[in-house]
Structure 1
């Protein structure tokens, strides 16, 4: 598998060009099969990208949007990725897209895994477009090196699409797509900004055990396009 790099001179140019690229891929999927799926990540990095993407003139009514992972909080909570997406991506032209939430009514994320697996409303894999981020510890989605569930989450033969995790270095239980679900995506992007994150990625790719730096497991098992700006 390969890591391809798209490096931009500024975050503004990245957001503009990346939004057009993703919109084009979604439009191609709609033309080919009548619908498209997009999985995105939370955090501050994608916010200005979302604000560009939602303005792209594509058939958003044929797109289903979901999250690579979610914190186990109510969708009105400040830490909710769903809240972030609803307020910044599912607006303007993209307001008509369908959204599949990972947060259920269960109090405990671990009790919700079977419900999500059985939910017919979930996007059919593989995703047409998946956009991942990465933390300073090289976690991606909610596959944290510190969580007891990391080996199960990285198991390519698990047969599972979802996994609940509980990091020790970050708040909240989480729900995440598993490694096999993530790396099956037709178009997989890693969206990073800043020299520090780039250095974390470069160091992560040198470790022997991917469970120590989970982003390594993604790059080793998929063709990944790094989208980066300083």
Structure 2
């Protein structure tokens, strides 16, 4: 793991966008297509605003979320909505989005089809990850009843989860899928989260899921 600190958030967003674009360019030199896994939340929006203008062959890029709330794509809490509005625009409008939601009441009913679409594009070329102050990443929450299964080295690449702290069911890439990425970038802001990251490195993965995906990652952060 490598840690890089930035003087302000805007500088970090620009630099991370450039790193992602560079990683995708390398991946596209070595394969017909490249998969980019991205988080939802508030932090990645400005990164998407810069990344969408990157000069690369976006028509060969598949974009998938690291996790999604089980809500329709036009819902205010939908991560899909964020990606469509702020990443799949400008030059990146030609990228293909791989869905993490289907119109069924529960994620288990659509899991097989969603997983099949992702498996066709593996490995992930670039995974961008956030982190919460509770040390979760994607929807790998320490209070999830099945967190040990989601972190297992033989876990499926996609799992439905229902963390006790969250109001709706979610679907998430497993630690195995994320760790298969050719490049990993963890991005967050705040000293509290850096303190949480350092604490995570001393805890079992089931208590600090972010620690399960730190090997080989670059951590980008600013206060």
Scaled to the shorter chain, the TM-score interval is: over 0.9
1:217 partnered with 2:212 = yes
Please give the TM-score of this superposition, normalised by the length of structure 2.
0.96
Secondary structure of the 1:201 match is helix
Q: Which residue of 2 aligns with 1:49?
A: 47
Question: Where do 4+ consecutive residues of structure 1 move more than 6 Å?
Answer: none
Distance (whole Å) between structure 2 residues aligned to residue 107 and residue 57 of structure 1: 39
For 1:202-213, list aligned pairs within 5 A.
202-207=198-203, 209-213=204-208
User: Post-superposition shift, 1:117?
Assistant: 2.6
8 Å Cα contact 1:64-1:123 kept in structure 2 = no
RMSD of aligned residue pairs (Cα, Å): 1.3
Secondary structure of the 2:206 match is helix
Q: Which residue of 1 aligns with 2:220?
A: 227
**Which among 175, 178, 191 is matched to residue 174 of structure 2?**
178
User: Post-superposition shift, 1:59?
Assistant: 1.0
1:4 partnered with 2:15 = no
For 1:95-106, list aligned pairs within 5 A.
95-106=93-104
For 1:64-213, list aligned pairs within 5 A.
64-119=62-117, 124-158=121-155, 160-207=156-203, 209-213=204-208
User: Post-superposition shift, 1:142?
Assistant: 0.6
User: Post-superposition shift, 1:123?
Assistant: 5.2
User: Post-superposition shift, 1:34?
Assistant: 2.4
1:38 partnered with 2:33 = no
Secondary structure of the 1:56 match is coil
For residues 45 and 123 of structure 1, do their structure 2 counterparts lie closer, same or farther at Cα, with a shift above 3 Å needed? farther
Equivalent pairs counted in the alignment come to: 223
5+ residue gaps, structure 2, are: none
Secondary structure of the 2:49 match is helix
Distance (whole Å) between structure 1 residues aligned to residue 47 and residue 74 of structure 2: 22
Secondary structure of the 1:212 match is coil
8 Å Cα contact 1:205-1:216 kept in structure 2 = yes
Distance (whole Å) between structure 2 residues aligned to residue 25 and residue 216 of structure 1: 23
8 Å Cα contact 1:66-1:101 kept in structure 2 = yes
5+ residue gaps, structure 1, are: none
Distance (whole Å) between structure 2 residues aligned to residue 48 and residue 81 of structure 1: 14
8 Å Cα contact 1:100-1:122 kept in structure 2 = no
1:121-172 deviations in Å (ceiling 9; x for gaps): 65522211000101121111111111111111001123x1110000111121
